[in-house]
Amino acid sequence: MTLLNIENLEVTFPLRSGSVTAIRDVSFTVDQGERIGIVGESGAGKSVSAFAILNLISKPGYISGGRIEFDGTLLSELDESTMQQIRGNRISMIFQDPMMTLNPVLSIGTQMEESILAHRKISRAEARNIAVDKLRAVQIPSAQKRLKQYPHELSGGMRQRVVIAIALLTDPQLIIADEPTTALDVTIQAEILELLQNLCNEFNVGLILITHDLGVVSQVTQKIIVMYAGAIIEQGDTENIVTRPKHHYTRGLLKALPENTTPGEKLNQINGVMPTLQDIPHGCLFHNRCDMVKDVCRKVQPNLQGIASHSVACHFPISYEE
């Protein structure tokens, strides 16, 4: 069953030097309990897409087109107070840097209880019980004691567990995780990812995992969306994307992964840099970095074509012999 349906989403930032479209024509769906990944370089528009779902785009940005439908409700048409009832309740978020996401002057307990009390009419004591339950669910030892502690008393990995616990407090249907492991040590990254995957499985929660690391998403998600310069250029089942990428950019990303390189050899890299949003090129967004560029690529922008399990926006997609 479709939980989230985004169609032709467009976000615009009016700036002094003229307005900039941060994302264009972004459409995708998330089913109940489905885990999808959005991959791209910084500035590709992946975080903006995620924040747009909760209408939390930082000012002066605003949603300038498209529709967002969540569980039968049109989110893009909700007023602020109804939206507030969905944020942190039915859709939770996990932020990038656990060192920065928890308020330094409030105790863990306060920050967990307020999150529940904002959405449920229950007593403080009951809220505290839920908080302890969720802390146990994210495998934090001596959960009861943690409630009295402050963020600075916990390690980075612990804090991200607390943030995940906060995201789970109200039993949401969807969690949006924005680079949840980027700021953590490599050893802890794997633990956190596994935890996130297991929890989503256990509670049947949908997950949108935003990352710049194709390696990370491929371990956790069932579907992958690749974004480039504010648009989706390839999407499909994780299996398809990872083993048979059709877009030259996606293939470049996969090749650049250290695990796909023989030790001792130079890492592969994609030449050039992503165009900034102020000077989006005509034609294919990727044409000035693509090895296979043809004349048509410079003139006509390719549309996303293919089937639900794998589609690509490229005039000359990579083909594979079966």
Interface with other proteins (CB under 8 A), residue from 19, 29, 32, 84? 84
195 scored as a contact of other proteins (CB under 8 A): no
Interface with other proteins (CB under 8 A), residue from 4, 54, 162, 184? 54
- In angstroms, the CA 91 to CA 84 distance is 10
Interface with other proteins (CB under 8 A), residue from 10, 114, 191, 213? 114
49 scored as a contact of other proteins (CB under 8 A): no
The nearest distance, CB 207 to other proteins, in angstroms, is: 15
User: Which CB atom, from 56 or from 122, has the smaller least distance to other proteins?
Assistant: 56
122 scored as a contact of other proteins (CB under 8 A): no
Interface with other proteins (CB under 8 A), residue from 67, 87, 128, 136? 87
102 scored as a contact of other proteins (CB under 8 A): yes
- In angstroms, the CA 201 to CA 253 distance is 28
- In angstroms, the CA 237 to CA 315 distance is 21
The nearest distance, CB 102 to other proteins, in angstroms, is: 6
82 scored as a contact of other proteins (CB under 8 A): no
Binding span for other proteins by CB under 8 A among 28-36, 105-113, 244-252, 311-319: 105-113
115 scored as a contact of other proteins (CB under 8 A): yes
Contact, 154 vs 184, CB < 8 A?
no
> By CB under 8 A, what part of segment 227-286 binds other proteins?
none
The nearest distance, CB 43 to other proteins, in angstroms, is: 18
- In angstroms, the CA 121 to CA 117 distance is 6
Contacts of 17 (CB under 8 A, 6+ apart): 278
User: Which CB atom, from 103 or from 144, has the smaller least distance to other proteins?
Assistant: 103
The alpha carbon dihedral of 71, 10, 179, 17 has a sign of: negative
Contact, 274 vs 264, CB < 8 A?
no
Residue 48 CA from chain centroid, whole number? 9
User: Which CB atom, from 60 or from 272, has the smaller least distance to other proteins?
Assistant: 60
DSSP, residue by residue, 271-294 = SS-PPPGGGPPSS-TTGGG-TT--
Q: Is 142 exposed, middle or buried (0-12, 13-18, 19+ CB in 10 A)?
A: exposed
**From residue 141 to residue 160, what is the string marking binding to other proteins with x (rule CB under 8 A)?**
---------x-x--------
Give the helix/strand (H/E) hosting 309: none
The nearest distance, CB 244 to other proteins, in angstroms, is: 36
- In angstroms, the CA 8 to CA 291 distance is 29
The nearest distance, CB 29 to other proteins, in angstroms, is: 22
- Beta strands at 35-39 and 223-228: parallel, antiparallel or unpaired: parallel
Q: By the criterion CB under 8 A, which residues form the site for other proteins?
A: 54, 56, 58, 84-89, 92-93, 95-97, 100-107, 114-115, 118-119, 150, 152, 163, 166
